Amino acid sequence: MILTLLQVDVEAVTMQSSRSISMIDMAFKGGWIMIPLLLLSIIALYIIGERWWTIRLASKQDQNFMNNIRDFILDGKFSSAQYLCQTQATPTARFVEKGLERIDRPLNDIQTALENVGNLEIAQLEKGLPMLATISGGAPMLGFLGTVIGMVQAFYNMSQAGNNIDITLLSGGIYTAMITTVAGLIVGIIAYFGYNYLTARIGHIMHAIERNMIDFMELLQEKSTKE
C-alpha cells in the first residue's frame, strides 16, 4: 500500500515537472519577441508595485489632522501647525505647510501657491503611469507582431517543402504565432488593469486634496474675518 502511494507521488511529481518543462519550452519557441515581452512584464510589475506602495503611503492621513491645524491657526500657533505638517508625510500636509509659509500674503496668492503644490503632488503620484499605459497598448502589439512573424515563417516553410508538406514544418511558426499572442495579451492585460487601478486611487487622493484645500482656505478666511 505504501509502495503504491509512493509510486503515485513519484508519477505526480514527474508529470508536474513535465508540465513545467513544456511551458518553458513553449516560451522559448515564441522566439525573440518573448525577450521584449519579458522585459515589459518586469517593468510593468515594478511600476505597479512601486506606485501602489507610494500611493498607499500618500493616502494615509490622521483623521484629526485638519482639526488640529484649525485649532492651531485660530489660536495663532503657526509654528505648532508647521511642526505638525512636517511630521506628516502626506500631500495634504505639504500643501498646508506651503500655505502657512505664506500666511501673511493675500488669500489669492495663498490659493495659487496651494494649487501649484497640489498639481506637483499629483504629478509625483502619476510618475510612471504613462509608461504603464504604453505597455498596456504596446505589449499586445508586440504579441501580434510575433503572430505575423510566425505565420510568415510557417508559410515560408510550406513553400520550401513543396509537395512534401509535414506538420512539423509548420510547428515552429505556429508556436511563435500563438505563444507571442498569448504572452502579449497577458502583459497588456496586467498593465491595463494596473493602470486603471492606480489612476482610480490617485483620483481619490486628488479629491481629498481639493477638499482639504477648500477647508484650509475657508479657515484662513475665518481667521481674517475674526481679526
Residue 106 in 3-state DSSP? coil
Q: What is the mean pLDDT of the chain?
A: 77
Q: Rounded CA gap, 173 and 147, in Å?
A: 8
- What value does the mean pLDDT take over residues 113-125? 84
Cell matching residue 99: 500655505
pLDDT band at 6 (very low <50, low <70, confident <90, very high): very low
Residue found under cell 510575433? 146
pTM, rounded to two decimals: 0.75
Residue 29: pLDDT over 70: no
- What value does the mean pLDDT take over residues 33-48? 90
The separation between CA 74 and the C-alpha centre of its own chain, rounded to angstroms, equals: 41
Give the pLDDT confidence of 65-117 residue by residue, as tens digits. Answer: 888 888 888 777 778 888 888 888 788 888 788 888 777 777 787 788 888 88
Reference 187, options 42, 52, 46; nearest CA is: 42
Residue 188: pLDDT over 90: yes
Centre a 10 Å sphere on the Cβ of residue 51 and count the other Cβ atoms it contains.
Answer: 23
pLDDT band at 64 (very low <50, low <70, confident <90, very high): confident
- The pLDDT value recorded for residue 4 is 43
Which one is predicted more confidently, 86 or 7?
Answer: 86
Q: Rounded CA gap, 184 and 146, in Å?
A: 9
Residue found under cell 497598448? 137
Residue found under cell 509548420? 170
Q: Name residue 32's amino acid.
A: W
The count of C-alpha atoms lying within 13 angstroms of the C-alpha of 180, restricted to the half-sphere facing its C-beta, is: 28
Reference 216, options 60, 100, 125; nearest CA is: 100
Q: Say if residue 35 is exposed, middle or buried (CB neighbours under 10 Å; 0-12, 13-18, 19+).
A: exposed
Does residue 73 contact residue 223 with C-beta atoms inside 8 Å?
Answer: yes
pLDDT band at 21 (very low <50, low <70, confident <90, very high): very low
Give the pLDDT confidence of 134-173 residue by residue, as tens digits. Answer: 999 999 998 888 888 877 777 776 676 666 666 666 665 6
Q: For residue 75, what are the contacts with CB-CB under 8 A and spacing of at least 6? A: none
Residue 53 in 3-state DSSP? helix
Does residue 100 contact residue 81 with C-beta atoms inside 8 Å?
Answer: yes
Which one is predicted more confidently, 95 or 225?
Answer: 95
Which one is predicted more confidently, 168 or 195?
Answer: 195
- The pLDDT value recorded for residue 2 is 40
